[in-house]
């Protein structure tokens, strides 16, 4: 995975509270293979009007913000369904970080597993950044080493749990790391089957 260290890039506002994963990608697109690319499905129903045409007033449709890599949203971003497709849609649309006061837990895990940084800022700072963007601010710098965001005049630190931070900084994939624990896992399973037999379904025939 591509490591995330420091990013200076165009920012796009998404000034809504509770942009849940059903909005980020409607359920009907999730049967597609990832190789087809999920970027076009991002906020599919939100960014279109009733006739299905792109709504020019919706922030991420603004041609002036095309190519943005930083998304700035409000409270409870990515709550709801565990669909990792919500992260695929953001990543495939070119976003590398989302700045918001709070994130859905599962979304945040999924994001980190795909190299997307969920940066948690105090609500007041988030609002200030959105106001600055509304006032014409274009580029924002997000530094994961120092956990700082610079948005014009605004300087604020952001929160991310240390484990996610380390994974993002190094571009780590959990699986590679876990392989080195194979012996611990086998040892645990063996001892645990004796300790908690009910958990291991040892006596359940496979042929039911």
Partner 1 sequence: MVSHTSASDAPKTLFDKVWDDHVVATREDGAALLWIDRHFVHEGSHHAFRKIAERGAKVAHPELTFGVADHYVPTRTRDLSAVDHAVADMVARLSDNCAANGVRLFGLDDPRQGIVHVVGPEQGLTLPGLSMVCGDSHTSTHGAFGALAFGIGASEVAHVLLTQTLWQRQPKRLKIRVDGAMAPGATAKDLALTIIARIGADGAHGHAIEFAGSTVEALSMEGRLTLCNLSIESGGRCGMIAPDDTTFAYLAGRPFAPAGEALERAMSYWRTLPSDPDAAFDREIVLDGGEVVPIVTWGISPEDALPVTETVPDPNRIADPARAAHAREAVGYMGLVPGQKLTDVAVDRVFIGSCTNSRIEDLRAAAAILAGRKARVPGLVSPGSSQIKRQAEEEGLAEIFTAAGLDWVESGCSMCVGMNGDLVAAGERCASTTNRNFKGRQGKGARTHLMSPAMVAAAAVTGHLADVRTLLRETV
User: CB-based contacts of 14: which residues, under 8 Å, 6+ apart?
Assistant: 59, 60, 71, 72, 73, 74
Of 7, 10, 22, 128, the one binding partner 1 by CB under 8 A:
22
**Rounded to whole angstroms, how far apart are CA atoms 199 and 103?**
33
**Rounded to whole angstroms, how far apart are CA atoms 73 and 70?**
10
CB-wise, 63 or 162, nearer to partner 1? 162
The residues in 59-88 that bind partner 1, with binding defined as CB under 8 A, are 74-76, 79-85, 87
Of 51, 135, 153, 203, the one binding partner 1 by CB under 8 A:
203
Q: Please, are residues 110 and 84 in contact by the beta-carbon 8 Å criterion?
A: yes
CB of 62 to partner 1, least distance (A): 19
Q: Residue 78: how many CB atoms within 10 A of its CB?
A: 29
CB of 112 to partner 1, least distance (A): 9
Count of positions on this chain that bind partner 1 (CB under 8 A) = 64
Of 23, 92, 98, 160, the one binding partner 1 by CB under 8 A:
23
User: CB-based contacts of 40: which residues, under 8 Å, 6+ apart?
Assistant: 93
CA distances to 19, 29, 64, 96, 165 from 144, in Å: 24, 32, 26, 12, 7
Binding site for partner 1 (CB under 8 A): 15-18, 20, 22-23, 26-28, 30-31, 33-34, 45-46, 50, 74-76, 79-85, 87, 102-106, 109-110, 113-114, 123, 127, 161-163, 166, 174-175, 177-178, 181, 184-185, 188-189, 192, 195-201, 203-204, 206, 208
């Amino acid at each position: 995975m591509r490591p995330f260290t420091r990013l200076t890039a165009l920012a796009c506002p998404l000034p809504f509270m509770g942009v849940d994963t059903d909005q980020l990608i409607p359920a009907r697109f999730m049967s597609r293979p990832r190789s087809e690319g999920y970027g076009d499905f991002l906020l599919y129903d939100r960014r279109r009007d009733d006739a299905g045409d792109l709504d020019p007033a919706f922030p991420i449709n603004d041609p002036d913000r095309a190519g943005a890599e930083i998304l700035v949203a409000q409270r409870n971003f990515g709550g709801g369904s565990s669909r990792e497709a919500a992260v695929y849609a953001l990543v495939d649309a070119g976003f590398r970080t989302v700045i918001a006061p709070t994130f859905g837990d599962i979304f945040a895990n999924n994001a980190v597993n795909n190299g997307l940084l969920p940066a948690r800022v105090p609500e007041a700072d988030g609002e200030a950044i959105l106001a600055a963007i509304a006032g014409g601010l274009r580029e924002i710098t997000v530094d994961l080493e120092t956990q700082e965001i610079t948005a014009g005049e605004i300087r604020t630190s952001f929160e991310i749990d240390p484990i996610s931070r380390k994974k993002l900084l190094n571009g780590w994939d959990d699986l590679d790391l876990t392989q080195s624990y194979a012996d611990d896992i086998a040892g645990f399973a063996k001892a645990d089957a004796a300790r908690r037999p009910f958990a291991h379904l040892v006596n359940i025939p496979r042929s039911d």
